[in-house]
Amino acid sequence: MSAKLGYPIILTHLGRRGGTQTFYASSYAERREWVDNILKQRDIKTKQNMKFALSPLTDLTFPLNNKVNTSVTFDHNRRVAFGTDQGIYVGLNNNPSSFEKLPLTHERVTQIDILEEYNIFFVLSDKDRNLYAYTLEALNPTLATGARPRKVHSHVTFFKAGACLNRVLVCSVRSSQITTIIKSDEPISPNHVRRNKSFGRFLPRGSHEILRPYKEFYIPSETTSLHIFKTLLIVGCLKGFEFVDPVSSKTQELLDPKDESLNFVRKRENVRPIAIYKVQDGDFLLCYDELAFYVNKNGQRARSHWIIHWEGEPTSFALCYPYILAFNPSFIEIRHVETGQLEQVIITGNSASLSTDPSSIHCVMAPSLTEPQRLYKLTRVTSK
């Protein structure tokens, strides 16, 4: 305390335009009263604007040297698996005390995904960033010891699974600062598999492979994201969003170069494309780390007066219509996709998203460097 100034009250405004303001109370009791009333008003405002609520995903906590990186739900959203630097854990979605570590020998698990209809569990892990494929028995703790992975690709930056041209594709992205190679594979049809009694699903028959190569795509740039749509692939790279024709393998800038109304994003330096979503009227919502706006199917500006300038610096997004959730390291910014209005801010501390699937939005938080990581799920608040 400064004898001249009094007892300090420090207010922090989060976000890229944020900062701190320091006020002073004349006594400790006065400061306590101010702080109590500020927190009370913040809680009232938070409850009034609540669209999403946080609840614990698991009772397990993780030290900072065992970073939690990814999660996925399966079995009709009843079960959850998540990957860390020291292994994979599985449990029941609505039972935080049910989680246990699987006896699979993987470290640095950076991404996992599941194709339930094909009985495949994917793991991206290890120093060489190998992509492995398991059958779903690997997610059963009593059977996982005997599960044998099949290496799909090595040196994979990230991967993405989705449906395109009536095919299910698993795209493995290997990206450097100047080039990207995307290897796409198709899972083997369930018609060629036999039933697995442990999960009531299927296993490959005999020595059948569970994936077969489809196509390779070349992008002359570093790629940071991949989005799979019904008839095309869209990548986020240093030049912005580009679409890839899965038939001809040709690439083209997504934004119409003749549309001068898009110069506001073209002339921006170091703006990073992160996510793209097709919304109900057929427009595309483009989310960058600084802003978001709409284009139509021809790459021309749509809703010309609509734009979001993010309060923070998002690293990932989740679309849970009609809301877009922007994950920042210290808070989650929630906006309405039709109005662009800021609807809610969830203060998280040091955090990151684990799953951005609208049916299972998960995040990890470690409010300080001395506290362990905790996992949470975000669920829609039902209006009364």
109 and 221 co-located in one domain: yes
* Count of Cβ atoms closer than 10 Å to residue 251 Cβ: 18
pLDDT attached to residue 269 = 81
pTM (2 d.p.): 0.89
Cβ neighbours of 11 (radius 10 Å): 10
Across 168-179, average pLDDT: 96
The number of CA neighbours under 13 Å toward the Cβ of 378 is: 33
Write the CA distances from 62 to 94, 99, 254, 374, integer angstroms.
19, 13, 41, 7
Reported as a pLDDT band with limits 50, 70 and 90, residue 195 is very low
pLDDT in tens, 61-107: 999 999 999 999 999 999 999 999 999 999 999 999 999 999 999 99
Please give the Cα distance from 356 to 336 (Å, whole number): 17
Is residue 268 in some structural domain?
no
What token pair was written down for 182?
């995307």
Span 255-281, average pLDDT: 92
- Pick from 2-6, 118-122, 358-362, 366-370: least confident: 2-6
Does position 285 have pLDDT exceeding 80, yes or no?
yes
Q: Which of 48, 63, 85 is the last residue of a domain?
A: 48
Q: Are residues 239 and 321 in the same domain?
A: no
Q: What is the rounded CA–CA span in Å between residue 84 and residue 89? A: 8
pLDDT average, residue stretch 317-333: 96
d(CA 90, CA 102): 7
Q: Residue 90 sits in which domain range?
A: 51-96+310-384
User: Distance (Å, rounded) from C-alpha 301 to C-alpha 284?
Assistant: 10
pLDDT band, very low/low/confident/very high, at 368 (cuts 50, 70, 90): confident
Q: Are 286 and 264 in contact (CB under 8 A)?
A: no
Mean pLDDT for the stretch of residues 222-236: 96
Position 191 scores a pLDDT of: 60
Looking at the domain assignment, is residue 275 inside a domain?
A: no
Domain co-membership, 111 together with 250: yes
